[in-house]
Amino acid sequence: MTKDKILKVASEEFAKYGYDAVSMNNLVKKLEINKATVYYHYKDKKSLYNEVIKAIFKSRNEETKKLFEENSDGPTLLKLYIELEIKTIKEKPYLVSLALREIANLGSELDQSIIPLFEEDTKYLQMILDRLNFKDEYKDISVYAFTSLIMGTIFNFYSIQMSELAIGTKDELKKDSEKSLSFISDFIYKIIISTTCK
């Protein structure tokens, strides 16, 4: 049993049940290993949870950094950045639930080691924003506002579309993750470019 497998299963469990409801006993049953194996890699549930979050950020930051290998203009980079977020969700749909749970809990289970990884992600978005030609009223807008606009819109829309709730049941995107993610990617990009840029 590898650390990667433990992280993957733990990610899905934390996303499905939330930090408080996940027990290490149930986790090891699901993994079909003994508890000592998990504790060999992670000292406790909180350190495992933080490693789950770190792994997400590290992977995402590595991919975001690659966007700058080509000398693309701001609008192209923004589109690629949003598409990368969509790609990440397509590959790991449980991330939406995990992120929404963490936002709702105001980061109560995260330790300080997460901050540099979050700041790195924010730095890349700021580099993209610096290449956009903003209208005067948006020149000084915070990068965190753009992060919230992009991530919050994706997470909220996706979770509604994929939910069992009778919301948008006649919508052709309902329960179709591929179409929903493609729609929201294009929508966010066009909203930002048409509303905030010259």
Q: From CA 9, how far away is CA 15, in angstroms rounded?
A: 10
pLDDT, position 107: 85
pLDDT at 76 > cutoff 80:
yes
> What is the token pair recorded at 53?
């979050």
pLDDT band of residue 194 (cuts 50, 70, 90) is: very high
Q: What are the domain boundaries of the chain?
A: 53-196
pLDDT, position 197: 96
Average pLDDT, the chain: 90
Averaged pLDDT for residues 157-183? 79
Structure confidence by residue, pLDDT tens digits, 107-150: 888 999 999 999 999 999 999 999 999 999 999 999 999 999 99
Burial 74-87 (b: 16+ CB within 10 A, else e): bbebbbbbbbbbbe
pLDDT, position 166: 60
Q: From CA 27, how far away is CA 20, in angstroms rounded?
A: 13
Averaged pLDDT for residues 98-115? 88
Give, as one character, the DSSP assignment of residue 69: G
- Helical packing angle, 177-196 and 153-162, nearest 10°: 150
